[in-house]
Amino acid sequence: MITLKTLEQATTQEVFDQVAEHLLAQNKQSEGEHNNGLTCMYRSPDGLKCAAGCLIGDDEYSSEWERRSWGFVSRAGGVTKHIDLISSLQSIHDSYEPYQWLAQLRELANSKELNTKVLENIPQENL
């Protein structure tokens, strides 16, 4: 499993695969209350994780990172690679409904010339 500690060594394909698999298996946005509304969170109170949140190990996570950008979190974790990809994956999580994620992930993979095999193994009830 890729975490902040191992993210620098991971390939773009490995990062995409882990996040895509996580999002499509979870099939629900990671959200919590903020200013009388819902906002996306790296870790929600009910234990869900966002696209970037699934790349943060339990021993690495800080609740102070909530409502901070992935750029901030990656710098805090000493990560310099995959910022653009993870930001794009975050945008899919934050901006689209779960039923739209598969198409958005496929589009992102195609734009980055990544293999989409991981997208073929999604449980039908999550599509």
Residue 48 confidence (pLDDT) above 80: yes
Q: Model-level pTM?
A: 0.92
Tokens of 37: 């509304």
Tokens of 10: 């991971």
pLDDT at 50: 97
Helices (H), 1-127: 12-26, 70-76, 83-95, 98-111
pLDDT at 82: 96
Residue 126 confidence (pLDDT) above 70: no
Domain definitions of the chain by residue range: 7-119
Q: How many CB atoms lie within 10 A of CB 39?
A: 14
pLDDT-derived band at 124 (thresholds 50, 70, 90) equals: low
Which residues, at least 6 apart from 31, have a Cβ–Cβ distance to it below 8 Å? 38, 39, 40, 41, 44, 48
